[in-house]
Amino acid sequence: MAPSSAEAGSSAAAVSASGRLLVLYASQTGNSMDAAERVGREAERGGCPAVDVLSMDSFDPGRLPSERFVVFVVSTTGQGDPPDSMKVFWRYLLRKDLGAQWLEGVHHAVFGLGDSGYQKYNFAAKKLDRRLSHLGAEQVVDIGLGDDQHPSGYEGALDPWLLSLWKSLNETNPSLLPRVSDINHPNLSILGNPKVHVIYYSSNEVPRDSVVSEPNKIIKNARSMSPALQFHDDGGPPCMLQMVTNQRLTKESSDRDVRHFELEDPSSAISYKVGNTLEILPSQNQSAVDAFIERCNLDPDCYMTIQAKTGDTISKGSLVSSQMDSIKLKTFVALTMDIASASPRRYFFEVMSFFATAEHEKARLQYFSSPEGRDDLYRYNQKEGRTVLEVLEEFPSVQMPFEWLVQLTPPLKKRAFSISSSPLAHPNQIHLTVSVVSWLTPFKRTRHGLCSTWLAGLNPSKDNLIPCWIRQGSLPPPRALVPLVLIGPGTGCAPFRGFVEERAALTATEPTAPILFFFGCRNQDNDFLYKDFWLTHAQDDGVLSSKKGGGLFVAFSRDQPQKVYVQHKIKEQSARVWNLLLSGAVVYIAGSSTKMPADVTAALEEVICEERGVKKEDASKWLKDLEKVGRFHIETWS
């Protein structure tokens, strides 16, 4: 595979005439990229003469008619949204000057990655598949729909879909495209070479004036060097914020630990808006980093750079770093390679099998990476939250070269949190509302969320500087004169605390519109997050007060025999919600991505049915129209 955008674009017509298979992916978390690279590996193994695997934002969509065989692998994010890397490509496909024959002669196949727990399951892939057909492309095989809820994850659908794809392509063009018999032939499996070359330097070889000491520059250098982060990281330097408050919001007796954090910049004011998110790069446990380096027989104190292999570039450009850009190996591992919280991919086990010297380990790894062992691997690996370090320690005969580890270890990703403060109320601070994550695996192993656990363990001090990036969120800041219907159970209240703070600050200088806020939790005594804050703003002339046309409505699901949720409170306040909608209110929903958004949407549809006297289909259309004009927003997280 040669994921080179420049070469792919300029020679598209010439190469596709000889049977090139183009694989385009749009990935938000890395799953689609992994699936696309697997498509490319299998095609090469089957003897396909030319395979290119490219991120969608690396390919000029205007050249699509020049291709003959294109496989699209697309994730769906949030509430049916395409990944960022797909947005420009998708806008191009929606151009009105593209006719029904624009893609005539192009054979396409689409595989989607999604989660059936979301309302708009695999929405991006489904829309892409329909649009390609409308533009004249011929579907090679029915769309494949990978589901995170499947017992084997998305690979439960990918395995049979790939088999169907190769069989169909064989029939379409048997002489040029992958031979299924070769793809599935165990004796023809070869490893190939890693995409990168690691160059090592002793500390004496690195010029002293080239060694960076500022934390934000070290982070930028390390992450821009990592091949695994090329499509997950913009490479910009972080702002280093200091934690000044770490406060538990839930009672000590509660089984849920939700924290209020306050971060500030010691040197300057912070520029952000309500509705923004804060991305945080967590620190890994130092003992885990040391154990990984020791297990892999690496020198923690040497310096290193990473260079793309000749003819096999990794990103949109060429990943080449010089001696002047070198970084200490231990620092690189700590800042870029998630060795102790993320589970390795299936391909990681396949590559390990080539380096296993103990026959029983080799046999087990080969089984795990085979279609027959897929379900067992999923139970052993993903369901148990097995980490790279744990896997390597369980197969002691495997000594993977660092080049492969750099390429295949899951990247250390930033974690995004809704900002729960207003810059008008806190010009030099950012507040966060964070649930400290922990869970039991099927085999009763306790797992902890890396970032939330790390933050909860920090003591507010000048020494605790946290790498942060401020990003535009999916909840646009509302104008002061726009009425709001806010629905945020649990930590979904986080962005709305900022909204209420902002509107309260604005009332001192200008007129503002009312807010209805619906909050839900289990118990009034244990987890009524920011109870005093909401009650204060619901009194007298507060922005949530009935006197101002607003309201605070709280559902305590477990304080009575019958469960009560936010959707029940919405239906109880049907007339008030409807009147505010008629006066131009914008609806914002935030919180868990499981059933809540669908249940709340259904409750709003019931309100419209009852107050407007229409059928459910009409109410659903009314809400969709609200969404189209920017008056209905959802931000969820799993």
Annotated binding site for NADP(+): 491, 557-558, 563-567, 599
Binding site, annotated residues: 27-32, 75-78, 148, 415-418, 449-452, 491, 557-558, 563-567, 599, 637
In 384-427, which ranges are E strands?
Answer: 415-418
Binding site, annotated residues for FMN: 27-32, 75-78, 148
Closest to 421 (Cα-Cα) out of 277, 251, 631: 277
For the chain, the residue count is 638
Closest to 536 (Cα-Cα) out of 572, 565, 566, 500: 500
Distance CA 611, CA 508 (A): 35
Residues with Cβ within 8 Å of 72's Cβ and at least 6 positions away in sequence, in order, are 23, 24, 25, 26, 56, 108, 109, 110, 111, 125, 128, 129, 132
Alpha helix segments (H runs only) across 239-337: 286-295, 329-336
Which two three-digit tokens encode residue 37? 């690279």
Give the strand pairing for 107-114 and 138-139.
Answer: parallel
Instruction: Give the number of other CB atoms < 10 A from CB of residue 142.
Output: 13
Distance CA 504, CA 434 (A): 23
| Contacts made by residues 163-168, CB under 8 angstroms, sequence distance 24+ | 165/39, 165/71, 165/109, 165/140, 165/141, 166/42, 166/46, 168/109, 168/140, 168/141
Distance CA 407, CA 195 (A): 7
Sign of torsion, CA 513 519 524 527?
Answer: negative
Sign of torsion, CA 28 30 36 37?
Answer: positive
Question: How many Å is the Cα radius of gyration of the chain?
Answer: 26
Element (H, E) at 393: helix 388-394
Distance CA 471, CA 577 (A): 31
- Measured distance between the N- and C-terminal CA atoms of the chain, rounded to whole angstroms: 34
Which two three-digit tokens encode residue 160? 């049979």
Give the strand pairing for 429-435 and 515-521.
Answer: unpaired
